[in-house]
Structure 1
Amino acid sequence: MIKVKLPLDGTNVLDLTRLLPGPYLTMLLGDYGADVLKIEDPIVGDYVRWRPPYIKNKNKTKKINALFTYLNRNKKSLTLNLKKKEGLKIFYRLVETADIIVESFRPIVKEKLKIDYETVKEINPTIIYVSLTGFGQNGPLKKVAGHDLNYISLTGILGLTGKKDEVSSIPGTQIGDIGVGGYMGFGSVLLALLAKEKYNIGQFIDLSIYDGLLSWLPLAFSSYFLDGEVPHKEERRLNGLLPWYNVYKTKDGKEITLAALEFKFWKNFCKLIDRKDLIKKHEADPEKYSEIKETLSNIFTQKTRDQWVELVRGIDCCLAPVLLIDEVMEHPHFKERKPTIKYNHKLVGTVRQIGFSFNLSNTPGKLRLGAPSYGEHNIEILKSLGYNSDQIEYFMKEKIIGSKRK
C-alpha cells in the first residue's frame, strides 16, 4: 500500500448538527481525514450524549452514550453560545479557515442566529455550506418538524412496506437519516469539493431528506409515470408480489429469504427440494402467486432455518437466513470481512463499533480520535484562534463557551 495521507486530509469542517443524520455525515468526513469540529451549545449540546444506552468504565464512575461514540469519532468538541455577540464572533473566526459547514437548523433559525449561507459566504466566499433538513429550503413543509418515519411516509416508501391489508411496517433502520443525510450528503459534499478544486467556487447544498428519498423509488415512479397505476404493498415484483422473492417462516419459527428472481436460481431451488413440478411456475400467471406462496410456506416449515442454510450450501439459488445482530456477528462472512474496529476511549475504556464504510486500497478510513467529551477542546480551539487565557476565562464566566456538563 502506498503511503499517502487520507483523501480529506486538511479539510476543515464545522459541524453544527446533532442527533443522527448530520453527525453521520460528518463522521464519514472525519473517517476519511477531515478535521471536524463539533460545535455544541453550552447548555445541552447534542442530546444523544445524555441518553442511554451508556458505555461505562469499570468502576461505573464515567459513562458515554454508545451511539454518540459511534457518530462522533474523529471529531473535536467546542461548546459555543451562538446567541451571544462574542460567541458569534468566535464562530466567524472559525468560518474564515473552514472548508465546509454542516447544519441542520430549520431555515428561519439560522437566519436569526446570523449563521446562514448568505452571511458566512461574505466571510469565506468558497465555503461549502450544507443545510440538512427534512423537507428542504422551500415548499409548504419547509418549517415543519419531522423524523425518519415521517419522511418515509410522505415519500411513499412506508406505504409500500409490509403486508397487504396490514398496518405499514417500520423499517429496522433509519433509511432517510442514514441513507440520505449520511451517504447522499457525503456524496454531495465530495462533488462540491471537486467543483471547488476545479473552479475555486463554494456553494450551498440544499440537502433535503425528502428529496433524497424520492430518488430511492425508481421502480415505483417509473411504472407510475408510464401507466399511472399506483403501486401498493405486495403488488410489485420486489415488494412481496413474487413467491420466489419473499420471506418465509421455518419450522423453528425463524425466517428465511428466497430471492430467486432469475429462472436459473429458481430452477436450482426446485431441483434441490425435489419439486421439479414447480419449475414452470416461474412463468405462472400472477393470479396463481398466492397458491405458489402457500406451497412454499408449507415447504419451508418442514425444516428449521439453519437446516435450510445447510441444505443450500454450495447451491446457487439466492436463499439466506434472516439474522439478528448477535447472529450477524457470528456469521463466517462477518468474521472474515472484519468490519468492526476496537479502540480505547479515554473515559470508558474499550469501545467496539462498526468501522469504515468504504474499502479504499490506498486511503482507507482511519480512527484518529475517539468521541469527544462535552467541550473537551474549548481551550485548544480558542488558543489556536489567538485568544489568551484571560479572554478564555472571560468567555467561560459569561457562558459564551461552556465547561463540561457534569
Structure 2
Amino acid sequence: MGPLNGFTVIELAGIGPAPMGGMMLADMGAEVIRIERANAADLKQLKDVSARGKKSVVLNLKQPEGVETLLRMVENADVLIDPYRPGVCEKLGIGPDVCLARNPRLVFARMTGWGQDGPLARAAGHDINYISLTGALFATGRRDEKPVPPLNLVGDMGGGGMLLVNGVLAALLEAANSGKGQVIDVAMVDGAAQLMWMFHGFEAVGAWDATQRESNLLDGAAHFYDTYECADGRYISLGSIEPQFYALLMQLADLPDAEFGNQHDAARWPEMTEKLAAVIKEKTQAEWCELMEGTDVCFAPVLSFTEAPSHPANVARKTYVEVDGVTQPAPAPRFSRTPSSVAHGPHGLGEDTVATLAAMGFAESEIQALREAGTIG
C-alpha cells in the first residue's frame, strides 16, 4: 500500500501536467477519480500512461444534477485538481469557495500556465511559452542558433506536474494539523522560474553569461560537459566537471596534457571541443561504454527513450515497468515501507462511474435517475 493509501483525489480531466500529477498521486496509493465528459477520448484506447491507476467517471458538469453530484463527491474527497483556465470552475458552480463550503478540509489544487492572476492569466499558452518567459528557453541551444525546446519537460512536467504534487503533499500535511484545506495556485511559469534558480546565482557572481547560449559551464560550451558523436554515428555524454573526474577522462581517453591540461580555460574550450570530438569519433558508442561506463568520468551513452528500458542499469533498478503491454516509467520516488505501485492501466471511459458513486453513498435509485437524465455515463 502506497503512502497515500486512504486519500481520495478528484481530478477534473485535462492534459499534460495535471494528469501527470494525478498519476503520481495514484502511484503513491491515492484513489484518483478522473471526471470526464461523455464525448471525451477513451484513454484506455489511447494507451495514455497518465491514466494508470485512476478511476474513470463520466459526469456532465453542464447540468445542475452533474454539479450537485460532483459536490457530493467532493464531500468524500481530500483533493480536487482543477486543470482549467482561471474562472472556469467558478462558472460551472464548482469553484473553490463552493467546494470548501461543502468540505472545509479540501485541498483545491489549480493547475494553469500563467497563474490565477496577472495580465496573462486568461491567455492560452503551452510549455514553450512558459519557458520563454522565464529564460529557460533562451538558455537552451547552440550559440548563434535559435533556442531549442527541451521537449515539454521544463514547463509542463517539471514546472507543472511535479510542482502540483509538491503543493498537494504540503497542503495535505498542513491540513492534518489544522483541519483546514486551502487553494493552491500552481503555475507552470512559476515552476519553470524555480527550475532556473541555479543560474540566477551563477549570473549574480559573474559565473554565467545570460546573454549567450553555449557560452557557459552547463550549456554545451565546456568540452567536458557535452555530447559527442561516435564512430558508429551514435552519441555519448560527458559531465567531467570536478577536477578528479576530468583527470580520469584525460587518462581513459588518452588526452595529452599539453592540449587538455587547463580544464577551465574558457577561451580554449572551442578548440578543445573540436579535438575531443575527433578523439571520441575514433571508437563506437559500445567501445566507449566498455571503457568508461561505471567509472567516475561521469559518462553515459545517449539513448532513445525506447532504448532506455533495456539498459542494464535501468533493468537492475526496475526503472521501467510494463502495464497492459505498454512500457513506461515506474513509480518514483521509492518508499521503503509503503512502496508505490501501478494498480492498473488506463480504464475505459466511464468504466468506474456507477461503482464509484455507489461507494460514495449514492443510492441505486439516485444513480439510475442520473443515468436516465444523461448526467452520468
Which residue of the partner structure matches residue 368 of structure 2?
393
Residue 262 (structure 2) aligned to one of 251, 265, 281: 281
Partners of 2:110 and 2:146 in 1: CA distance: 33
CA RMSD, 1 decimal: 2.0
In structure 1, the residue matched to 2:154 is 175
Question: How far apart, in 2, do the equivalents of 1:367 and 1:134 lie?
Answer: 28
TM-score by length of structure 1 reads: 0.87
Instruction: Report the 3-state secondary structure (helix = DSSP H, G, I; strand = E; otherwise coil) of the residue aligned with 1:177.
Output: helix
Cα 1:102–1:314 shift into 2, 3 Å: closer
Q: Does 1:364 align with 2:364?
A: no
1:27 aligned to 2:23? yes
Counterpart for residue 317 of structure 2: 337
Matches within 5 A, 1:33-182: 33-44=29-40, 47=41, 49=42, 64-66=45-47, 68=48, 70-182=49-161
**For 1:264, which of 227, 244, 255 is the aligned residue?**
244
Aligned partner (choices 305, 311, 322) of residue 325 of structure 1: 305
Q: 1:291-338: per-residue Cα shift (whole Å, max 9, x none)? A: 111111221122222222222256432222111234322211111111
Q: Deviations over 1:71-90 (max 9, x none)?
A: 11221111111111111111
- The range that moved more, 106-115 or 227-236, is 227-236
The residue matched to 1:132 in structure 2 has which SS? strand
CA distance in 1, matches of 2:327, 2:36: 25
Q: Which amino acid aligns with 2:131?
A: I
Q: 1:401 aligns to what SS in structure 2?
A: coil
How many Å apart are 1:98 and its aligned residue?
A: 1.1
- Matched residue SS, 2:335: coil
| Residue identity in the other structure for 1:263 | P
Instruction: Give 1:93 deviation, angstroms.
Output: 0.6
- 1:311 lines up with 2:291 in the alignment: yes
- Report the AA paired with residue 374 of structure 2: K
Instruction: Verify the 8 A CA contact 1:266 1:279 in the aligned structure 2.
Output: no
Query: Which stretch has the larger CA shift, 104-113 or 320-329?
Result: 320-329
SS at match of 1:170: coil
Q: Identity of aligned pairs, percent?
A: 34
Q: In the aligned structure 1, how far is the partner of 2:293 from the partner of 2:300? A: 10
Report the alpha carbon displacement of residue 148 of structure 1 after superposing the two structures with TM.
1.5
Residues 229-288 of structure 1: CA deviation (Å, up to 9, x unaligned):
63421122111221111112222222121211111111122122332323422142x222
Where does the alignment leave 5 or more consecutive residues of structure 1 unmatched? 51-62
Q: Please, which moves more after superposition, 131-140 or 161-170?
A: 161-170
Q: Does 1:255 align with 2:235?
A: yes
The number of equivalent residue pairs is: 375
Preserved CA contact (<8 Å) 1:256 1:320: yes
Secondary structure, counterpart of 1:141 in structure 2: coil
The one-character-per-residue Cα deviations of 1:3-44 (angstroms, maximum 9, x if unpaired) are xx4321111111103222111111111111111111112232
Gaps of at least 5 residues in structure 2 are: none
Structure 2 Cα separation of the partners of residues 270 and 83 of structure 1: 66
1:234 aligns with 2:230: no
CA contact (8 A) 1:265 1:316 kept: yes
Aligned-pair CA distance for 1:388: 4.1
Structure 1 residue 226 displacement after superposition = 5.0
**1:245–1:258 contact (8 Å) kept in structure 2:** yes
390 and 172 in structure 1: CA distance in 2 versus 1, 3 angstrom threshold: same
Shift in Å, 1:144: 0.9
Q: Quick one: structure 1 residues 250 and 340, their matched pair in 2 at CA, closer, same or farther if it must change by over 3 Å?
A: closer
Name the aligned partner's letter for residue 112 of structure 1: K
Matched, 1:15 2:14: no
Q: Give the corresponding residue for 1:382.
A: 357
Give the corresponding residue for 1:200.
179
SS at match of 1:382: helix
Cα separation, 2, equivalents of 1:210 and 1:184: 11
Change in CA separation of 1:271 and 1:355 when aligned onto 2, cut-off 3 Å = closer
Question: How far is the alpha carbon of 1:165 from its aligned partner?
Answer: 1.2
Distance 1:366 1:314, change over 3 A: closer
Structure 1 SS opposite 2:97? helix
SS in 2 for 1:238: coil
TM-score, reference length from structure 2: 0.93
Q: 1:314 to 1:361 in 2, by over 3 A?
A: closer
What do residues 156-176 of structure 1 show as CA deviations (whole Å, max 9, x unaligned)? Answer: 111111111112212245322
1:211 paired residue among 185, 190, 201? 190
Partner SS state of residue 256, structure 1? strand
What amino acid sits opposite 1:111 in the alignment?
E
Q: Provide the C-alpha distance between the structure 2 equivalents of 1:296 and 1:73, rounded to a whole number of angstroms.
A: 44
